[in-house]
Structure 1
């Protein structure tokens, strides 16, 4: 499937066919998209919880009860559910880990490049920490960058998907012990095979006209 076909075929699935599992090769494709997602100054402030077993999906689904019960079937009936999470803080340990990984991956080809990269990244973190005071919002933006790539990647791979903001974040955080690890849930995404009850598959896309959303200069 080419990009144009994927864009037109992609839609937010409203109902999944229970009991059908995506092949591991398809899931591996999605994980590669997430693993290689871009982020501001390569900050990578994320963590992903992948649920594929009935038990794992049931744990995620605990956050989709009560006011969010409409999303529970999209979790339980999907093949896989990914909870996209962000760090609760940008720590020195995290920044050091990124820097050392960049060195192992061969990104510093000239003398002083490692130190320059570290100074540059920390300067961005300091701006968001002290001047803008928006570190959580900044990190959340990086997670949504990853989500956008993930949904497009799923469409190209022919995988039905739906993102969900309707869940109880405290329940999600506590169920797999995210808070103890220094993470908090941002958004859920389910993947699988749409069912005949997916009414959204039969509806046309609706977007504002191009001349209202583009300015060419």
Structure 2
């Protein structure tokens, strides 16, 4: 399947077949997509929690209680559920870990090159921390880059998906112990295969005309 065709045919799945599971090799590929997603200055300000067991999915589904019950079945009946999280801070330890990994991966020919990249990355972090004062929002934007990569990759792999913002962030963070580890939940993605009862699968996809969304210079 071409990438364009995957984009044209994917949709937000509303009901899953609980008896169909995403094969392990496909899940490994989707995890690779998440790991290699782009982020501003390669900051990688994320962490992902993946649930495949009924117990794990039930823990995540607790966050749909009290106002978000319409999303509970999409989590419980999916094959796998991914909680995409943002860091609560881009501290010196994380920035050092990223820089050292880049060095191990052979990105720097000289110590000066490594130091220069570290200074550039820190300057962007400080720009958002002190000047624009939107560091958390900036980190969450990087998580949404990973979200888009995952959704398109799932579609290209023949896997149905549902991005979910309708959940109690505080409850999920508490249930998974995220904030103590320096993370906070941003968006949930259910992965699996649609049920025959999924009404959305039968509806035509709708987008605004190309002339309304593109300007060519």
| TM-score, normalised by the number of residues in structure 2 | 0.98
More off after superposition, 46-55 vs 202-211: 202-211
Distance 2:155 2:109 in 1: 36
How big is the shift at 1:111?
4.7
Is there any run of 5+ residues in structure 2 with no aligned partner, and where? none
**Residue correspondence of structure 1 range 5-154 to structure 2 within 5 A:** 5-154=5-154
How big is the shift at 1:4?
2.3
CA RMSD of aligned residues (A): 0.8
Q: Structure 1 runs of 4+ off > 2 angstroms?
A: none
Distance 1:209 1:5 in 2: 17
How big is the shift at 1:168?
0.2
Match of 2:211 in 1: 211
Secondary structure of 2:89's partner?
Answer: coil
Equivalences, count: 217
Match of 2:191 in 1: 191
Match of 2:174 in 1: 174
Distance 2:135 2:40 in 1: 12
Q: Deviations over 1:72-130 (max 9, x none)?
A: 00000000000000000110000001011111111102451101100000000010011
How big is the shift at 1:29?
0.9
Secondary structure of 1:207's partner?
Answer: coil
